[in-house]
Structure 1
Amino acid sequence: MNQTDPTPPSNVQEWTVSALSGALKRTLEDAFGFVRLRAEVSGYRGPHSSGHCYFSLKDEGARIDAVIWKGVFSRLKVKPQEGLEVVVTGRITTFPSSSKYQIVVETIEPAGVGALMAILEERRRKLAAEGLFDERRKRPLPYLPEVVGVVTSPTGAVIRDILHRLADRFPRHVLVWPVRVQGETSAAEVAAAIRGFNALPPGGPLPRPDVIIVARGGGSLEDLWSFNEEIVVRAAAESEIPLVSAVGHETDWTLIDLAADLRAPTPTGAAEKVVPVRAELIAQVDTLVRRHLGAALRFLERRRADVRALARALPRPEDLTAPARQRLDLAAGRLRHGLTANARRHEGDLNRLAQRLARLSPHARLAERSAVLQGLEHRLAAGLAANTLRRRADFDRQASRLTFRPVRERWQNAGERLVLAGLRVQRSYAALLAQRRERLQSCWKLLESLSHKGVLARGYAVVLDEARRPVRSVAALTDGMAVSLQMADGERQATIGGEGSAPGRAPSRSRGKVREGAAPSMQQGSLFDP
């Protein structure tokens, strides 16, 4: 023992930080593997860029970090909100990098009806700010729809009540889109049903509804929560077909009631608002028909009396036409004199136009143009003659200056250049031919060095079977098999024998057979092995 060492020896186990963090993590997860926790959401800022959510849960005296992974967050029915009191379930674990413990949330539920109402009020204000509940965008229902679409559960009493009420009031064609009206997938199914009815083309094989009823029986706030989801409210607001909301009893209300074109207190009330009573409609039509016939008869009688009264006040027809006949006789007398004067006036105008036309007749204008053309013809002939004499004089001057001497000199120079070009072509061709001859000789030498004939010249032979294919192994030879032995100076035929040769003894040449079982030192290598 070293007396100078101030640290006394110890048998306490030494831990690394990572090992200690791992041990704490396992201990905590074993003791609190799954817990249910009631607390208030604090520090929630929405999903991280990775899709995960990080926030805290607190009460009056403590706080714990919480995390929701991306896949779990997308499946949550209730999303966390700042200040919302919730009941969460999850696993307690640690985060070794910062030596902190946290809860990994699996589910979130509102802590009581008050929390649900707070969520509902927050969602109502948000959707109202977007204009989804505006009364101006709501449309009236058709008075008598041909097809009624119903979105509800096919097994409940709601659909039976609606069908019974429609049959009593006015039978219509009903299309039922079956959905779950409660549960995790209920909201998505109801929204898909509303959009599915709107996607049906008019005049298609499946008739497009003229009005849609979204119905469900009464229940608690939690039972009706699917009809408060944004996806359902937005689908109802986007519906091009008028939509009636009939969710719950008269005292119940959901957000789809605010987005629908009409809210009915019950599913039965929705059926009553969609179609009128057929018997009442028939009676009303009969009453209107009787009133219309009576009014028509009274109108005709009143018009007949008016016509009789007016007929008594009218004068006789001949008295009405007498002044007109007199004016016509006077006009006929004046018309004869007027026609004669008009004919004379037009005759004078026609004579004056004829004189002007004679001065401007085509014959006169043609004679004038002919005289102009003759003058131009004389001037053109004189000009052509003068131009011809001038061109002929220029040509004579150029011909006197032209000789054949420059042409002969250019021809001699071109011949000399052609001779020089021929000599250069001959030299180039000779050099190219020598270069190609050297390359051909090199290739031929390489071919001879790689040819199998050089190998055969050193004493090797190629064994060929009857199909002229090389035999590569002894296993390919059988007794009595005819083979060919190809050597450097020729080829001989041979037959494989079945008798083995003694070790170290060469086979007899006089028999001309190739035998199996030769000593390994006497076997010939293959030419085709790599």
Structure 2
Amino acid sequence: MTDASGSETARSNAPEFSVSELSGALKRAIEDRFGFVRLRGEISNYRGPHSSGHAYFSLKDASARIDAVVWKGTFARLKVKPQEGLEVVASGKITTFPGKSSYQIVVEAIEPAGVGALMALLEERRRRLAAEGLFDAARKRPLPFLPRVVGVVTSPTGAVIRDILHRLADRFPRHVLVWPVRVQGETSAAEVAAAISGFSALPPDGPIPRPDVVIVARGGGSLEDLWGFNEEIVARAAAASAIPIIAAVGHETDWTLIDHAADHRAPTPTGAAEKAVPVRLELAADLAALSRRHAAAMRRLVEQRRGDLRGTAARALPAPDEIMAARAPELDHAGRRVAGAIAREQDRRRLMVERAAQRLARQSPQARLAGFSNGSTISAAACASRASRGAKNVSAFTALAARLGAARAANFAPRAGAPPRDAPRSTRSRGACGTRPPTRSPRAAPICGGSNSFKQASAMKTFWRVVFALILERRREARPARRRSRGRRRADAAFFRRRSPRRGGRRARTHRRARPGAETARRAASQARTGLAVLAHFQ
């Protein structure tokens, strides 16, 4: 009994705990002993955020496993999101869950477990994005040869933007638009992606010009510093950009996901500026070289075509000497004809010049002064001849006038048997032969008297014609060098027509034109001789 009572006493000395008390005691003990820990392990059983926004997964190593939970508010602030198989260092508090008698870690921060873990994560993202086709070479677009506007996504206070601007000014100055972003930190990835999308959203003809090419640049740094450009959001924004992208992140040995997604990669920001624009001096030199090559090619082509044409002409066309030999006689004949025509034309022109010289000589002041006595430019012999003819005409005119005056006096003398002038009008109203007495007009010839009275009247008309012919001759002698115009000749003909006798009550018409010069003088002389003969007959 002693043993039995002693064992019961021993059992009764142990304190009794309820399940809740023990769970609470364990919870307090664990949380006090392991308040804040850093736990290294591999993420497993991760299925993404729960519908409530929390994330549940496990951390394990080679021999143990512990549950982990990330609350909704903490999950949004994590720089590195949980991924299946990723080795991380999780920072948080150890706590227990009384309902299942289990413990877990409440994660507040996740970091990759060293460079190897980051590289493993980067490689896993690269494989996944490459499987989607974001890195295909067919999606790469060529850069514009000479962009009008260059966009730059980088920090506005770093040395990168100054290097880019300086290099662009040296090569080919262009208009530059800078979109300022953070290139390091938790918000850098979102800002870079927003800048790329913002440049693509600009209208082509808007108030802010849309860039023709965009440079995404950052200086060198560690893998952790460049991790913002390895984010998936940045790679997708670069792949979806409507503008060609040049990625220039870090140094030549630094590769990020944006380098794979961009259209072109530059090892440094300075290299990106060199890719964006050409060198203006090199363009001028290339243009001059192309111009020289073009001119040389054209000269060679012309020489080649000239040679081909000569060869073709030599084979297809006759020789030039043969063509000229066939037409040589015609050319000689035409030459002789031309020479003769030229000689004849020269003779004709020489005669024209001589005649013009003679006319000018007759109109010279010396010739006009020499012939001023009779108003003509004639020689001395011609002057003497015309003077003698004038004297003869004057003497003939004087004799004719004397005889004609005597005939007129006899014509107007009272005839035998005629009534006196003071006789009554009834007795002297008729003449001796029963006709009217003669009028007192000197030009009116008596009707009676028979043939003699008609002859006297004709003689009177002839006399006046001779007088006017002599007057015209004197006028022509006064101006022998001038040829009568057509109007002058018509006036003279009209004058003679007015002085011609009337026949049948109408004026006799002449159809002959007045003859100029010596012929008119001969006609006047002939009429004068006729008149003198008539007067002599009456006497």
Q: Please, what TM-score do these two structures have when normalized by structure 2? A: 0.53
Deviation string, structure 1 residues 2-55 (Cα, Å, up to 9, x no partner):
xxxx99997988755445544543443344332211222233233333332222
Deviation string, structure 1 residues 257-316 (Cα, Å, up to 9, x no partner):
11111111111111111111111111111222333345456656766787888899999x
Cα distance in structure 2, aligned partners of 1:102 and 1:313: 105
- Paired letter, 1:49: S
* Equivalence for 2:245: 243
The partner residue of 1:134 within 132, 136, 152 is 136
Cα distance in structure 2, aligned partners of 1:308 and 1:62: 99
Cα distance in structure 2, aligned partners of 1:258 and 1:73: 28
Cα distance in structure 2, aligned partners of 1:119 and 1:244: 24
* Equivalence for 1:275: 277
When residues 88 and 263 of structure 1 are mapped into structure 2, their CA distance, relative to the original with a 3 A threshold, is same
The partner residue of 2:195 within 193, 196, 217 is 193
* Equivalence for 1:505: none
When residues 285 and 60 of structure 1 are mapped into structure 2, their CA distance, relative to the original with a 3 A threshold, is same
- Paired letter, 2:61: D
CA RMSD of aligned residues (A): 3.0
* Equivalence for 2:127: 125
Cα distance in structure 2, aligned partners of 1:307 and 1:73: 86
* Equivalence for 1:361: none
- State how 1:383-402 maps to structure 2 within 5 Å: none
Which moves more between the two structures, 124-133 or 250-259?
Answer: 250-259
Choose 1 or 2 for highest CA Rg.
Answer: 2
Aligned residues: 311
Cα distance in structure 2, aligned partners of 1:228 and 1:293: 53
* Equivalence for 2:367: none
Instruction: Give the % identical residues.
Output: 77
Cα distance in structure 2, aligned partners of 1:83 and 1:303: 76
The partner residue of 2:42 within 40, 43, 54 is 40
When residues 294 and 98 of structure 1 are mapped into structure 2, their CA distance, relative to the original with a 3 A threshold, is same
Deviation string, structure 1 residues 47-86 (Cα, Å, up to 9, x no partner):
3333322222223443221111122223222222333221
- State how 1:312-327 maps to structure 2 within 5 Å: none
* Equivalence for 1:210: 212
- State how 1:469-508 maps to structure 2 within 5 Å: none
- Paired letter, 1:67: V
* Equivalence for 1:233: 235
When residues 307 and 63 of structure 1 are mapped into structure 2, their CA distance, relative to the original with a 3 A threshold, is closer
Structure 2 gap ranges (5+): 1-7, 318-539
* Equivalence for 1:98: 100
Q: Secondary structure at the match of 2:163?
A: helix
* Equivalence for 2:498: none
Q: Secondary structure at the match of 1:166?
A: helix
- State how 1:329-340 maps to structure 2 within 5 Å: none
Which moves more between the two structures, 294-303 or 137-146?
Answer: 294-303
- Paired letter, 2:130: A
* Equivalence for 1:176: 178
Q: Secondary structure at the match of 1:284?
A: helix
Q: Secondary structure at the match of 1:109?
A: strand
- Paired letter, 1:214: V
Deviation at 1:217, TM superposition (A): 1.3
Q: Secondary structure at the match of 2:127?
A: helix
Q: Secondary structure at the match of 1:80?
A: coil
- Paired letter, 1:266: T
- Paired letter, 1:210: D
- Paired letter, 1:34: F
The partner residue of 1:65 within 42, 47, 67 is 67
Deviation string, structure 1 residues 106-125 (Cα, Å, up to 9, x no partner):
11001111111111111111
Cα distance in structure 2, aligned partners of 1:244 and 1:47: 35
- Paired letter, 1:174: V
Cα distance in structure 1, aligned partners of 2:111 and 2:212: 39
The partner residue of 1:143 within 128, 142, 145 is 145
Deviation string, structure 1 residues 291-343 (Cα, Å, up to 9, x no partner):
3345456656766787888899999xxxxxxxxxxxxxxxxxxxxxxxxxxxx
Cα distance in structure 2, aligned partners of 1:151 and 1:97: 53
* Equivalence for 2:388: none
- Paired letter, 1:286: A
Q: Secondary structure at the match of 2:161?
A: helix
Q: Secondary structure at the match of 1:177?
A: strand
Deviation string, structure 1 residues 473-513 (Cα, Å, up to 9, x no partner):
xxxxxxxxxxxxxxxxxxxxxxxxxxxxxxxxxxxxxxxxx
Deviation at 1:228, TM superposition (A): 1.0
- State how 1:279-294 maps to structure 2 within 5 Å: 279-294=281-296
Deviation at 1:237, TM superposition (A): 0.5
Tell me if 1:260 matches 2:262.
Answer: yes
Cα distance in structure 2, aligned partners of 1:246 and 1:127: 20
- Paired letter, 1:269: G
- Paired letter, 1:53: A
Cα distance in structure 2, aligned partners of 1:241 and 1:83: 36
Q: Please, what TM-score do these two structures have when normalized by structure 1? A: 0.54
Cα distance in structure 2, aligned partners of 1:305 and 1:9: 129
The partner residue of 2:58 within 56, 59, 70 is 56
- Paired letter, 1:135: A
Cα distance in structure 2, aligned partners of 1:40 and 1:304: 84
Deviation at 1:197, TM superposition (A): 0.5
Deviation string, structure 1 residues 158-200 (Cα, Å, up to 9, x no partner):
1111111111111111111111111111111111110010001
Which moves more between the two structures, 129-138 or 290-299?
Answer: 290-299
Which moves more between the two structures, 91-100 or 229-238?
Answer: 91-100
When residues 302 and 75 of structure 1 are mapped into structure 2, their CA distance, relative to the original with a 3 A threshold, is same
* Equivalence for 1:107: 109
Q: Secondary structure at the match of 2:121?
A: helix
